[in-house]
Amino acid sequence: MESWLLVRDLLDTNAMTAIIVDNNMKVVYINKTYLDILGKSEEEVVGKYVGDITPESRTLIVIKTGKAIVGYNWLINGYNMIACAVPLIKNDKVMGCFAYSLFMDIWDAKDTVDNLMGELNMYRDEVRNLYSARYTFAEIIGQVQKIQDVKNLAQKAAEHPSITVLIRGESGTGKELFAHAIHRASNRSKMPFIRVNCAAIPENLLEAELFGYKEGAFTGARKGGSPGKFELANGGTVFLDEIGEMSPSMQSKLLVFLQEREFERLGSHKPIRVNIRIIAATNRNLEEMIKQEKFREDLYFRLNVLTLEIPPLRERLEDIPMLVSYLIPKLNKNMKSDVAKISDAALELFGKYNWSGNIRELENVLERAMLLADMDDSHTITTKHLCFMKIKNENTGAICPNNLRSLIKDYEKQILVRVLEETNYNKTKTANILDIDLSWLYKKVKQYGLTSDNS
């Protein structure tokens, strides 16, 4: 749900007029009911000095004084209404005025206003929850100097909320986590944090996703148009993940925005100026892409104001015990399991692994190992719960078979053993619990030699 659309739909009612004026006394929004009363089109009003539209407008006084004017009579073009004008304040500065009027013949106008303001507050909170950063610097775990240096630099970046940040690192190293933490630690933290995955959105839709569009801009465009992520994030942060996957044409448009800090919705010629921080991330070699003419050099320089190089996990193996201690309780909560720790032998095996997927892979491996430990009624992850990992032991080679067929058989045997034990080797009950054919169970019992004496 997008904030501007929610507000627009809420104010688009025949029961009231509504207008928003910025601190330059220019109209930035007016609803259809007010336009009908004025006998004007949106183009004749939006962007114009409010005093030229309604010379007696209380919005002029509210913006100058910063004080609301509530419950005054508003007579315009023969319509008698009761009106309110309230200042829009950010960081103790008046940014504009929101004024609305209710027709005097509306039943129970006060309740209508109260309900309206209640809904506005509800939508504001919902949007804030939808577009908010989740992680902080406290959740960036590690004591190795490399990660500490990057963390310190990121904390410095948070203190300068206008600086563009480029985060580089392999997949799974925690680039998004750093972006969240920078936003949360900055003075933009109360404003939206919006992530855009440049690789996941088709090229022909990415422009509309970032810049928004006007009604009728293309086939299927939503009635009334739609704001883009840049507009929704005004005052906050836009995180452009996988920036290296952006097409050359979109790179050009992003470059223009970074230079001018304004854009136009698709199908519109009205410039929209926003105040946002851009954080970009990539696991691609942008310098090599520049040589291959797949990435614009001028855009690279615009993005590369401050660069964070996140080290891969194999360069900070000393941090694994700390990461495991942090992840196990988190995974227990998600999985509703009760695995308390990992054995020293199992932890030692982690130090021999390549971790091509970095911390994301570590979390996935732990989740799988904890599932096996839980199935085994064990509160400790041991080496037998890591048999799916391709780890070579100096003396014995691979710690267990790791081809898919062997792993499936191993899982199958473990499940059969567990249920057979629970039913005291009653095969009929076992087949019913597992919802399998009894003849198939007998076949598997024979295949794996699963008897009460040999399991």
d(CA 37, CA 78): 9
Per-residue three-class SS string for 143-175? CCHHHHHHHHHHHHHHCCCCCCEEEECCCCCCH
CA distances (Å), 454 to each of 93, 420, 443, in order? 78, 12, 16
- Beta partners for residue 239, in sequence order: 195, 279
d(CA 94, CA 90): 7
Would you state the pLDDT for residue 72?
83
Does 180 lie in the same domain as 112? no
- Indicate the SS3 state at residue 15: coil
Residues spanned by the domain of 396 = 313-402
Task: Report the DSSP pairing between strands 397-398 and 306-309.
Answer: unpaired
With 90 as the cut, is the pLDDT of residue 174 above it? yes
With 50 as the cut, is the pLDDT of residue 123 above it? yes
- The string of pLDDT tens digits covering residues 90-111 is 888 899 999 998 876 544 455 5
CATH number assigned to the domain comprising residue 103:
3.30.450.20
68-77, 133-142, 326-335: least confidently modelled range: 68-77
Does 274 lie in the same domain as 206? yes
Question: What one-letter code names the amino acid at 245?
Answer: E
Does 157 lie in the same domain as 47? no
47-51, 142-146, 267-271: least confidently modelled range: 267-271
Inside any domain, residue 113: yes
Does 166 lie in the same domain as 277? yes
d(CA 287, CA 296): 10
Question: What one-letter code names the amino acid at 237?
Answer: T
CATH number assigned to the domain comprising residue 296:
3.40.50.300
Inside any domain, residue 222: yes
- The string of pLDDT tens digits covering residues 183-202 is 999 999 988 999 999 999 98
Does 305 lie in the same domain as 160? yes
Does 358 lie in the same domain as 291? no
Would you state the pLDDT for residue 114?
59
Buried b (16+ CB within 10 A) or exposed e, 279-311: bbbbbeebeebeeeeebbeebbebbeebebebb
End position of a domain, from candidates 243, 277, 309: 309
Looking at per-residue confidence, does 361 or 131 come out higher? 361
End position of a domain, from candidates 255, 281, 309: 309
DSSP string, 363-381: HHHHHHHHHHHHHTT-SEE
d(CA 411, CA 196): 38
Inside any domain, residue 195: yes
- The string of pLDDT tens digits covering residues 397-432 is 444 445 556 667 777 887 888 788 878 888 888 888
- The string of pLDDT tens digits covering residues 254-264 is 999 999 999 99
Inside any domain, residue 128: no
With 70 as the cut, is the pLDDT of residue 395 above it? no
Buried b (16+ CB within 10 A) or exposed e, 238-262: bbbbbbbbbeeebbebbbebeeeee
With 80 as the cut, is the pLDDT of residue 212 above it? yes
The mean per-residue pLDDT over the stretch 163-174 comes to 96
pTM confidence score: 0.62
Does 146 lie in the same domain as 252? yes
Would you state the pLDDT for residue 86?
92
Would you state the pLDDT for residue 455?
38
CATH number assigned to the domain comprising residue 333:
1.10.8.60
Binned at pLDDT 50, 70 and 90, residue 279 comes out as very high
With 80 as the cut, is the pLDDT of residue 228 above it? yes
Inside any domain, residue 131: no
Would you state the pLDDT for residue 70?
87
Looking at per-residue confidence, does 123 or 249 come out higher? 249
Would you state the pLDDT for residue 48?
93
Does 100 lie in the same domain as 22? yes
Binned at pLDDT 50, 70 and 90, residue 50 comes out as very high
The tally of domains found in the chain comes to 4
Does 85 lie in the same domain as 37? yes
Binned at pLDDT 50, 70 and 90, residue 245 comes out as very high
d(CA 2, CA 135): 22
What percent of the chain has pLDDT above 90?
48
Does 411 lie in the same domain as 382? no
Inside any domain, residue 93: yes
